[in-house]
Structure 1
């Protein structure tokens, strides 16, 4: 039977799949991003989508295309959480990787959903340790790839 991690806020549980997918992204570099959703009925955070396999590190996909795929995975009328593993080169020519936590709460989403996601965010971040930066966005321009790039400078 799968074990879930109980979050301190709102009695929300984080599924093993969430934690395992995050660890696969963080340590094994299997995923480029993960989108999470809250199932209100079961009061659990679940994996909604994983994407952007490690091909960018091997010269396959363009990072912008992977990020565009992540952004397209976020609904226009509902909230989500997302993790994005961003690779970049520093001014000293060092290869780095930073994990971004994105709290997506579009204007068109229900007030109840916005409140549920806002109150559960910190609990999820405590379970999924290793996030370097956080972005809160209500529209795509607030979380564009340029916003991500500017944060690591």
Structure 2
């Protein structure tokens, strides 16, 4: 099922791995990449449950767009442990214009395929998705 706007299909593995993250918590994060030649979104990297936020940010290329999902654990003001599933549209200023356009036009449809996203972030540099941003958006 290709997206009418950009023609990008979503590989079944994307939905499967997201479901694992959401229900079984077998992954801390997932980085998705658009494979332009195959015209589809694929899983590029899976983060182990033990991996940190820093491990996650290192997986995002400095000059290429990506989609990512991050399972963010935090404590509420009442000291109750909770988690939120963040969807990050990573689009650095240094990435190619064509790439930015493809990612932007495919984002909404791709996000709809991942049922259970709670917070969305758009980031063009690491400061826009720092831990402080996650904490402020999680509550």
Measured against the shorter chain, the TM-score band is over 0.9
Q: Aligned to 1:139, which of 121, 125, 128?
A: 125
Unaligned runs of 5+ in 2: none
Task: Give the number of equivalent residue pairs.
Answer: 139
Query: What's the CA shift string for 1:31-65, capped at 9, x where partnerless?
Result: 00000000001110000100032x4xxxxx6xxxx
Structure 1 pair 7–28 and aligned structure 2 pair: CA distance change class (3 A): farther
Q: Aligned to 2:82, which of 86, 96, 102?
A: 96
Compute the RMSD of aligned alpha carbons.
1.3
Partner of 2:43: 47
Query: What SS does the corresponding residue of 1:120 show, helix, strand or coil?
Result: helix
In 2: Cα distance, 1:98 partner to 1:16 partner: 23
4+ aligned runs moved over 3 Å, structure 1: 5-9
TM-score normalised by L of structure 2: 0.94
In 1: Cα distance, 2:5 partner to 2:112 partner: 11
Query: What SS does the corresponding residue of 2:127 show, helix, strand or coil?
Result: helix
Pair 1:13-2:9 in alignment: yes
TM-score normalised by L of structure 1: 0.86
Unaligned runs of 5+ in 1: 56-60
